[in-house]
Amino acid sequence: LERARDYLHKTGRFIVIGGIVSPVHDSYGKQGLVSSRHRLIMCQLAVQNSDWIRVDPWECYQDTWQTTCSVLEHHRDLMKRVTGCILSNVNTPSMTPVIGQPQNETPQPIYQNSNVSTKPTAAKILGKVGESLSRICCVRPPVERFTFVDENANLGTVMRYEEIELRILLLCGSDLLESFCIPGLWNEADMEVIVGDFGIVVVPRDAADTDRIMNHSSILRKYKNNIMVVKDDINHPMSVVSSTKSRLALQHGDGHVVDYLSQPVIDYILKSQLYINASG
């Protein structure tokens, strides 16, 4: 999440106002998946010092497993209710009302009113988003200050904050992107919505060739402009960020687990005796 935010800011096209961690439902069926009760707590501990990343329990609390598409649509609908705005569709951004424009009112010219205090500035709307989401859907430790925008981000000099459009993007590793190419694994209608309506931010894993992956799928090729690939840092490769490596390190008593997890998460895992094999 942090690497993706830095990259999006450097493009000059985005201001990342929040990150959502949504642990999967218990019925997802992946081998070794521990109870969502534990996973929610571990995620909370992992982001407890972040003022922009939150953990959302909605997906875990449903009666059964939810598709990725339905989870994205849930957060989009929630943001609509919270902000009173129509969220941007990546295919038609120019047709989307500016941030702060109520859905049920006729759009007005941005600078029609000369009274500056009444214009829907980013600070006002982002503050509203933060306060409302923290009450409605988010599980996060209490903090005195909740800042969305990185003041040091490279946002360019020509951006007018009144024209910011809200957009929800799916952040994933290149392994998930590659799974889009497996016939029958994903519902094609869902893929159209995920890539076409929302868009994806991809973090390459193990030097994956994302261009090759995208060219292998007709839907990914069709919406290639909606897929943003984060450039990997040679000194800090994203391949080290791996839940599988973390579990193996814990099972084998590997001290390098501190390279993957924060100490509060490690302490919780040891206290709850999670991921310990029979011989461990």
Overall pTM surpassing 0.85 (yes/no): no
Asked whether residue 224 falls in the same domain as residue 245, the answer is: no
More confident: 223 or 245: 223
Asked whether residue 227 falls in the same domain as residue 260, the answer is: no
Q: Which residues contact 91 (CB under 8 A, 6 or more apart)?
A: 196, 197, 226
Report yes or no on 207 lying in a domain: yes
Tell me what pLDDT residue 278 has. 44
Asked whether residue 259 falls in the same domain as residue 214, the answer is: no
Report yes or no on 148 lying in a domain: no
Asked whether residue 208 falls in the same domain as residue 267, the answer is: no
Q: Domain range spanning residue 267?
A: 241-279
Asked whether residue 8 falls in the same domain as residue 44, the answer is: yes
Asked whether residue 267 falls in the same domain as residue 200, the answer is: no
Q: How confident is the model at residue 136 (pLDDT cuts 50, 70, 90)?
A: very low
Tell me what pLDDT residue 205 has. 80
Contact 255, 228 (CB under 8 A): no
Asked whether residue 169 falls in the same domain as residue 273, the answer is: no
Asked whether residue 250 falls in the same domain as residue 204, the answer is: no
Q: Which of 77-81, 121-125, 214-218 has the lowest mean pLDDT?
A: 121-125
Tell me what pLDDT residue 27 has. 94
Rounded-to-integer distance, Cα 260 and Cα 248, Å: 11
Q: Which residues contact 50 (CB under 8 A, 6 or more apart)?
A: 19
Report yes or no on 45 lying in a domain: yes
Tell me what pLDDT residue 79 has. 84
Report yes or no on 130 lying in a domain: no
Average pLDDT, the chain: 75
What type of residue is 238? M
Coil vs helix vs strand at 172:
strand
Asked whether residue 185 falls in the same domain as residue 234, the answer is: yes
Report yes or no on 231 lying in a domain: yes
Asked whether residue 169 falls in the same domain as residue 275, the answer is: no
pLDDT of 29-88, one tens digit each? 888 889 999 999 999 999 999 999 999 999 999 999 999 999 999 999 888 887 766 555
pLDDT of 190-215, one tens digit each? 999 999 999 999 988 877 888 999 99
Neighbouring C-beta atoms of residue 171, cutoff 10 Å: 19
Q: Is the pLDDT of residue 143 over 50?
A: no
Q: How confident is the model at residue 160 (pLDDT cuts 50, 70, 90)?
A: very low
Asked whether residue 187 falls in the same domain as residue 253, the answer is: no
Q: How confident is the model at residue 265 (pLDDT cuts 50, 70, 90)?
A: very high
Number of domains the chain contains: 2
Helices (H) then strands (E): counts for the chain: 11, 5
